[in-house]
Homo-oligomer: A and B are copies of this chain.
Amino acid sequence: MANKHVKEMEALREHLGKHQLKLTRQRELILSAFLRQEHITAEAMYHQLAKSDPHLGLATIYRTLNLFCDAGLAQARHFGSQTKYDNVSHKGHHDHLICTGCEKIVEFENEEIERLQEEVATQNGFTIKTHRLELYGLCSRCRH
């Protein structure tokens, strides 16, 4: 299980080293669990990990997920009242199709859209660092 995520583990180590931070049991555990998901909230991860490690604090989950964001492994997305953390380590940037019926999330990438975004930004004198694109609607199953 651990050897599955060597690359991400290495990326975390590198970030820690650069910022005089330490590698802890909790950080390894949370990274491993995080990489098994596509999108997860801190709360959900807390409950999930409580089974194997009942004393892992919620604050630690939040701190660690934010650390992953700093390290470029995760990306936070705010949905209404909750924040979901996306795994962006192993794949490139991606956008989301979200079904408002069943909450299903489909990821997609579209080169052409990305290119047009750059174009719009340039026209307005902006240099884009990141972006978010979310399409909300009904999936084929929920349309009925």
Please report A residues at the B interface, Cβ cutoff 8 Å: 78-81, 97, 99-100, 106, 108, 110, 112-113, 116-117, 120-121, 124-140, 143
In the complex, how many angstroms separate the beta carbon of A84 from the nearest chain B beta carbon? 12
Identical copies in the complex: 2
Q: List B contacts of A137 (CB < 8 A).
A: 121, 126-130
Taking a contact as CB atoms under 8 Å apart, the answer to whether B136 and A129 are in contact is yes
Q: List B contacts of A126 (CB < 8 A).
A: 97, 99, 106, 135, 137-140
Taking a contact as CB atoms under 8 Å apart, the answer to whether B116 and A112 are in contact is yes
Whole-angstrom distance between the alpha carbons of A136 and B79 in the complex?
17
Taking a contact as CB atoms under 8 Å apart, the answer to whether B143 and A120 are in contact is no
B78, B108, B130, B139: which contacts A79 (Cβ < 8 A)?
A: B78
